[in-house]
Amino acid sequence: MYYHASCVDFNGKGILLIGPSGSGKSDAALRLIDSGAQLVSDDQVFLENVDGCLMASPPSQIQGMMEVRGIGLIHCTFKAKTQLALAIDLTPPVSVPRMPEINYFEVLNLRIPQLVLNPFEASFTAKVKVALTQEASFFA
């Protein structure tokens, strides 16, 4: 199924960036890429259940393409498929819970941990890295 989102792979863990148009999906992906992640797909992601794992890949029409606001479309290297480990719901600062309850992103009869973060905070990339390293205990 196609899903309106962006996706990057960080050290073998897929991160799905979700939110409405203009919420900062591409900007967040760009900053994660600048910190060592690799683009999977920007704006549209193909999601599938493969043997009980939630997998993400880019639609063929937009492979390796990314929209960078203020610059335009750029071409970059991309990863053809990743197993999703985390979903991040991008939201304004006032909507980010200080002490969040455990949430999950559910699709295709599968679920992965989901955070609510503001993509424009300077600490966004650091928070994502912390969440990925704390994954087992944080979402238990």
pLDDT in tens, 46-96: 999 999 999 999 999 999 999 888 898 999 999 999 999 999 999 887 787
The whole model's pTM is what? 0.92
What mean pLDDT comes out for the span 21-48?
A: 95
Which pLDDT belongs to residue 135?
Answer: 59
Pairing verdict, β 44-50 and 110-117: unpaired
* Mean pLDDT across the chain: 91
98 and 107 in contact (C-beta within 8 Å)?
no
Q: pLDDT tens for residues 7-18?
A: 999 999 999 999
Range of 29's domain?
A: 2-138
User: Domain holding 134: CATH number?
Assistant: 3.40.50.300
- Extract the tokens encoding 9: 């792979």
Beta partners for residue 78, in sequence order: 39
Per-residue confidence band for 100, with pLDDT thresholds at 50, 70 and 90: confident
Q: How many domains does the chain have?
A: 1
- Minimum mean pLDDT among 24-28, 38-42, 64-68, 132-136: which range? 132-136
DSSP the chain: -EEE-EEEEETTEEEEEE-STTSSHHHHHHHHHHTT-EEEESSEEEEEEETTEEEEE--GGGTTEEEETTTEEEE--B-S-EEEEEEEEE--GGGS-SSPPPEEEEETTEEEEEEEE-TTSTTHHHHHHHHHHTHHHHT-
Q: Is the dihedral of CA 49, 117, 68, 8 positive or negative?
A: negative
How far is CA 37 from each of CA 41, 79, 102, rounded to the nearest angstrom? 12, 10, 25
